[in-house]
Amino acid sequence: MKDESPVLVSRLARTGQFLQRQIRDLILIVGITAIIFALANYVAYKILPAPSLPYDVLAAVDWPGSPASIDLYRKVFGLSPDEDALARFKASPPMVMHPTLPFATQSIENRYFRVGLEGIRYEPGWDDAQVAALLAGSRPLIFALGGSTTLGHGLAGDETWPNLLNRVIAQTAANVPAPRQPLVINFGAQAYDQRTEIEKLIYLLNKGYRPRAVLLLDGWNDLFFSRSNMRLVDKVIYHGFARGRGEIAFTPGGLLNPLSYLDLVLEYSPLLQLIRHWQRGPQRVEHVKFDRDAFTDGFDFREADFMYRYWALFGEQHRERFKQEIVDYYRHNLKLLKALADSYGFALHVFYQPNGLLDSTNPFVPAAARTAPGYRYISELAATVRAAIAHGDLAMSDISNALNDMAGQRYLDVAHYTPEANRELARTIARQLR
* pLDDT at position 246: 47
Asked whether residue 395 is assigned to any structural domain, the reply reads yes
Model pTM? Answer: 0.87
Q: For residue 251, is it within any domain?
A: no
- In the chain, how many domains are there? 2
In DSSP terms, 141 is beta-bridged to 183
Helix 419-433 × helix 161-172 angle, to 10°: 50
- Say whether both 111 and 68 belong to one domain: yes
Percent of the chain with pLDDT over 70: 93
pLDDT attached to residue 9: 72
- Cα–Cα distance between 213 and 352 in angstroms, integer? 17
- Domain-embedded: residue 424: yes
* 164 touches 422 (CB < 8 A): yes
Question: Does residue 298 form part of some domain?
Answer: no
pLDDT per residue as tens digits for the range 375-409: 999 999 999 999 999 999 999 999 999 999 999 99
| Residue 428 shares a structural domain with residue 370 | yes
Residue segments in the chain with a per-residue pLDDT below the cut of 50: 242, 244-247
Question: Are residues 207 and 82 part of one domain?
Answer: yes
Instruction: Give residue 16's domain range.
Output: 1-45
CA–chain centroid gap for 356, Å, is 18
Distances (CA, A) of 22 to 9, 13, 25, 344: 20, 14, 5, 74
Structural domain contains residue 313: no
Same domain, 76 and 8: no
- The contacts found for 172-180 with CB under 8 angstroms, 24 or more apart, are 172/430, 172/434, 179/138, 179/139, 180/139, 180/140
Q: Are 350 and 374 in contact (CB under 8 A)?
A: no
Residue type, 150: T
Residues 61 and 40 both lie in one domain? no
- Phi and psi at 285, nearest 5°, equal -60, -40
Q: Which residues are registered as beta bridge partners of 37?
A: none
Question: pLDDT of 298-344, one tens digit each?
Answer: 988 888 989 999 999 999 999 999 999 999 999 999 999 999 999 99
Query: Rounded CA gap, 264 and 247, in Å?
Result: 9
